[in-house]
Structure 1
Amino acid sequence: MTIYSLYIYDRHCQCVFYHDWQRVKKARPANEGVMLSHVTPSTEMTSPRNTLTMSSGIIIASSESVPPTPAIAPPVSSANLTSLPFDEEAKLVYGVILSLRNMTKKLSGREETFVNYRTSTYKLHHYETISGYKFVMFTDPNTATDTIRFVMRQIYTNPFIEFVVRNPLIDMDSRENGIDNDHFRTAVDKMVKNLAIYA
């Protein structure tokens, strides 16, 4: 079993954080002028303000059109790119969540919530906070739902509250910048990699 990726959406339907642990193919960069403008797979990157340094695939949320320069950049060929830019991929993930959540409420009543769904290749887990933030995690299809729901709740109650909500330098309603906080990214990465289900 393994964990593939984590998306965090704000109350304005914007993807404000993305981290992947098992991405094989490189996503195409987002279209110019959108909030999440850079996908960086498996290279060490730094933002223009030198606040981000990671050794796994990350999204750097930025409204700037100049991409950060990689320390060591592997050659990029069109064969390595997926068919969708990352901003479209993020919109599709949010659309799936919204559609399934609405369908669940209409079919089973207002008290039921959408928690997850499974395909033959992955399982999508959904956790929504009272403040409207949506945590979406992709895992192996055999992963237990309760375990991942607990993990997403722990990400929200520990590093998210500590490094994002209580941080006066982060604008929580920003539609231009995502969560650009190295401490939050490191805490999430460490929390997920220390899980027994992470392979």
Structure 2
Amino acid sequence: MTIYSLYIYDRHCTCVYYHDWHRSRRPKPAVEGGILPAVSQAVSPSPHLANSNASSVYSGFGSPRNTLSSNTGVVVAVNDMLSQAPATPLLQPPPSPITTPMTSTGLAFDEEAKLVYGVILSLRNMVKKLSGRDEQFVNYRTSAYKLHVYETVSGYKFVMLSDPAAESLRFVMRQMYVGPFLEYVVRNPLVQMDSREHGIDNEYFRASIDRLVRGLSVFP
């Protein structure tokens, strides 16, 4: 069992954070203006991404204040990035890649993020209409992956894609919310909540999310 990726959407249905771990094929960079800045260097259309070195690429940050090492798991591999980066063991593909959802279409990340949110919105509305307002949509499973959803009272949605055999990850996403999210995003005066201008640009939050996920028993 394993975990593929994490998306966080704000109350405006906008993806403000992205993180992946075991995606064998990653989406194309988003088109200019397709996503907010600082969502993830893995899918950012910023021109400086191609000039960053391998360490900053894999950490997801190009800032001189960067304290994340290249093995933190913030994996960034965008199209021809691998051909530009030096050949190191970290840049080699996994020996037995896992086919993950929504990667065979070659979609840009902004289109992928819209599709993921559209699936969540449609299934949530269907559950409410068929089962009543007391029922909640928490996950669904296909033969290739399992999608987990956790929605906060403030309207933020945490979405994780995992192996189809994984148990519910709602408790993990709740840990992300009550732990790193409240600590490094909500209580951080430098982060503008509900600004519609930036993603979650906080390296401590990204590092905390990575440590939390890597420490799970379902993470190989």
| TM-score bracket for the superposition, by shorter chain length | 0.7 to 0.9
Number of residue-to-residue matches in the alignment: 181
Q: Does 1:177 align with 2:192?
A: no
**Equivalence for 1:27:** 27
User: 3-state SS of the aligned residue for 1:127?
Assistant: strand
- Following TM superposition, the consecutive aligned residue runs of length 4 or more in structure 1 with deviations greater than 6 angstroms are none
Superposition deviation, residue 35 in structure 1: 2.5
Structure 1 unmatched runs, 5+: 60-72
Q: Could you tell which deviates more after superposition, 91-100 or 27-36?
A: 27-36
| Counterpart AA for 1:198 | F
Native 8 Å contact 1:101 1:114 kept in 2 = yes
Q: Does 1:84 align with 2:125?
A: no
Change (3 A) 1:54 1:36: farther
Native 8 Å contact 1:163 1:183 kept in 2 = yes
Q: Could you tell which deviates more after superposition, 161-170 or 34-43?
A: 34-43
Native 8 Å contact 2:186 2:193 kept in 1 = yes
Q: Does 1:74 align with 2:82?
A: yes
Q: Does 1:57 align with 2:75?
A: yes
Superposition deviation, residue 51 in structure 1: 5.1
**Equivalence for 1:47:** 62
Taking structure 1 as the reference length, the TM-score comes to 0.83
Percent identity of equivalent pairs: 59
Question: Quick check: which one's strand share is greater?
Answer: 1
Superposition deviation, residue 48 in structure 1: 5.1
Measured in 1, the distance between the counterparts of 2:60 and 2:152 equals 30
Native 8 Å contact 1:28 1:82 kept in 2 = no
Native 8 Å contact 1:23 1:57 kept in 2 = no
Structure 2 unmatched runs, 5+: 44-56, 85-102
Superposition deviation, residue 187 in structure 1: 0.4
Q: Could you tell which deviates more after superposition, 113-122 or 17-26?
A: 17-26
Change (3 A) 1:143 1:35: same
| Counterpart AA for 1:31 | V
Q: For 1:125-140, what aligned pairs fall within 5 Å after superposition?
A: 125-140=148-163
Taking structure 2 as the reference length, the TM-score comes to 0.75
**CA RMSD, Structure 1 to Structure 2 (Å):** 2.4
Native 8 Å contact 1:51 1:181 kept in 2 = no
Q: Does 1:187 align with 2:208?
A: yes
Native 8 Å contact 1:10 1:133 kept in 2 = yes
